[in-house]
Chain A
């Protein structure tokens, strides 16, 4: 029973960096901002960690996949290059 209180109340303190009037825009070409939402192995980080809203997370995933297709971002980042 100890695990009953799973993280129910989501962390409202940090708002989504993309939504809101002054939020950043998601563009599949600027890999710098996209790179912040990708793990060091090149995998897309889940929204519950990066605190991105659901709608923006879908756009973000689409942008990252486009950047990967155009070889702007790696599918799997080899760290021992």
Chain B
């Protein structure tokens, strides 16, 4: 299936545990529809380079996914609806970064 890299910014008011909760819900959509989450890393609270609708900081979360496109579109739709997600960006990758490490390790 296709490899994607999805990063989204969660609102500042959320606590880190709430951000993890939100990430789990999003990833549940992926795993339910036959996708696989390869890597998730939380960049934590970072300040923005410019203010986005009156906010200066946000929780950055980066995910690397290996999913059929349908699951991804569903996740993006949920992210658009969710108000805690300030901004999200999904990019198609030709291969996953960590996969090379596994290949090297293996």
Contacts and interface: CB of A to CB of B under 8 A. Distances in A.
Interface of A: 28-29, 66, 68-76
Contact of B89 (A70, A73, A74, A76): A70
Contacts of B60: 70
Nearest to A74: B49
Contacts of A29: 7, 62
Contacts of A71: 9, 48-50, 52, 58, 87
Interface string B21-40: 00000000000000000000
Contacts of B9: 70-71
Contacts, number: 27
Contacts of B106: none
A66 B91 contact: yes
A11 to B, nearest CB: 32
Nearest to B91: A66
Interface residues of B, number: 12
A64 to B, nearest CB: 12
Interface in B37-53: 48-50, 52
Interface of B: 7, 9, 48-50, 52, 58, 60, 62, 87, 89, 91
- Chain A interface SS verdict (over half): loop
Nearest to B5: A29
27 contacts: A28-B91, A29-B7, A29-B62, A66-B89, A66-B91, A68-B49, A69-B87, A69-B89, A70-B7, A70-B9, A70-B60, A70-B87, A70-B89, A71-B9, A71-B48, A71-B49, A71-B50, A71-B52, A71-B58, A71-B87, A72-B49, A73-B49, A74-B49, A74-B50, A75-B49, A75-B50, A76-B50
A44 to B, nearest CB: 15
A71 B88 CA distance: 11
